[in-house]
Amino acid sequence: MTKYLHINHPFALESGETLPSLTAAYHTYGKLNANKDNVIWICHALTANSDAEDWWPGLVGKGFTLDPDQYFIVCVNMIGSSYGSTSPKSVNPETGKVYGLDFPLVTTRDNARFFALVADYLGINRIRLLMGGSMGGQHAGEWACLQPDRIELLCLLATNARHSPYGVAFNESQRMALRADATLGTDAPDAGRLGLEAARSMAVLSYRHYRTYDATQQPTSPDDIDDFRASSYQRYQGYKLWKRFDPACYYALTRSMDTHHLGRGRGCSEDALGTISSPTLIISIDTDVLFPTEEQAFLSRYIKNSRMDVMQSDYGHDGFLVETPTIGLLLAAFLVDQLQIDEGTKHAFTDGLSGRSFAIPGTEEV
């Protein structure tokens, strides 16, 4: 069941704007033990919600690695989302009107500060394990930089230290699709629907992989010349998101993801990662085109006490949601302090992944 926390004081944002008050929608599973040392905090991804047991089946729940009989599991809906926390769907108490597209820019660092504030209100001083995948991993990384002494263990899945130009380009392309829908931000019954459906279709291409489509979306017949399975699949993915997510929230969250840069105000990303003191498990996916393995190698190279594991998956970036048996095994060992790090091997491995050179047209190789 979703719980709500209302914080009735201003929350300053990195942009210089202020949210007059905040609402946090969240789920908890299990009970906080007497020592208050069994907290697992999960940061959800872009369009997920705070019900981690629902969207991470096989990993969160009784009998699985993150078992509420053993741990007190917390997941808070990020600011800007459609699922109950303060967002473009909220009424601005200063104007009495819904924020809509006027919702202020909220950075990934703002959301990390928001989670830390909610933890304060919930009386949680120490977090046994902080974890997140994709945008959730960006939030977890920010929080670990903000409050390194609060986090005992850290797990980062399919994420990065800064959102890449490639990722920003994907997000801007989606926002172009949203803006091309003249109903976005209006009072029309289906306002923003076509734009959101097109945006989601673009996004799914970055979440999956060639092999995913090749295995699941082959034409029903070699004689097909129209209405291909892959075409209907893209339309279905767009419609499915429209049924559950607000277009203005999607617009806001893609902007938020673009702001992600651990090095902002901290010198550089390398220096920021160097402040993380928690033993850190970094999980990468070999077919991830949106958050490729070299991004996780960079994290592991500069987080001193870290280990990186690369999962094989045919699901691309979405492997962090699908490959729960593998993730569960890696986490189970990690939670009993079996993080084994050979610095020489680690550096050779991460250097091999992150030290690639690319020829840029019109320039010398860099």
Residues 88-133: pLDDT tens digits? 999 998 899 999 999 999 999 999 999 999 999 999 999 999 999 9
214 catalytic? Reply is no
pLDDT confidence of residue 357: 42
Residue 344 pLDDT: 60
Within 10 angstroms of residue 80's Cβ, the number of other Cβ atoms is 31
Residue 366 has pLDDT above 80, yes or no: no
Please, what is the Cα angle at 259 between 84 and 306, to 5 degrees?
A: 95
Q: How high is the pLDDT of residue 225?
A: 84
pLDDT at res. 226: 87
Comparing CA positions, the residue from 279, 288, 267, 280 lying closest to residue 164 is 288
Rounded to whole angstroms, the Cα distance separating 248 from 89 reads: 8
Structural domains of the chain ordered from first start: 3-163+260-358 (3.40.50.1820), 167-258 (1.10.1740.110)
Q: Which of 77, 107, 101 is nearest to 16 (CA)?
A: 107
- Among residues 212, 209, 208, 199, which one has the least CA distance to residue 238? 199
pTM of the model: 0.93
Confidence of residue 339 (pLDDT cuts 50, 70, 90): low
Q: Which of 27, 44, 209, 317 is catalytic?
A: 317
3-state secondary structure of 284: strand
Which residues on neighbouring strands pair with residue 105, listed in sequence order?
none
Burial track 195-213 (b if 16+ CB lie within 10 A, e otherwise): bbbbbbbbbbbbbbbeebb
DSSP alpha helix (H) spans, 24-80: 52-55
- Catalytic residue check, 288: yes
Catalytic residue among 201, 260, 288, 306: 288
Per-residue pLDDT reduced to its tens digit, 129-156: 999 999 999 999 999 999 999 999 999 9
Res. 351: pLDDT tops 90: no
The alpha-helical segments, DSSP class H, found in 122-274 are 135-146, 165-180, 193-207, 210-216, 229-242, 247-258, 269-274
Asked whether the predicted pLDDT for residue 326 surpasses 90, the reply is yes
CB of 184 within 8 A of CB of 101?
yes
Do 222 and 105 touch, CB atoms closer than 8 A?
no
What pLDDT shows up at residue 342?
Answer: 60
Given the residues 134, 206, 256, 284, select the one marked as catalytic. Answer: 134
Q: Which residues are annotated as a binding site for substrate?
A: 200, 318
Statement: residue 361 has pLDDT above 70: no
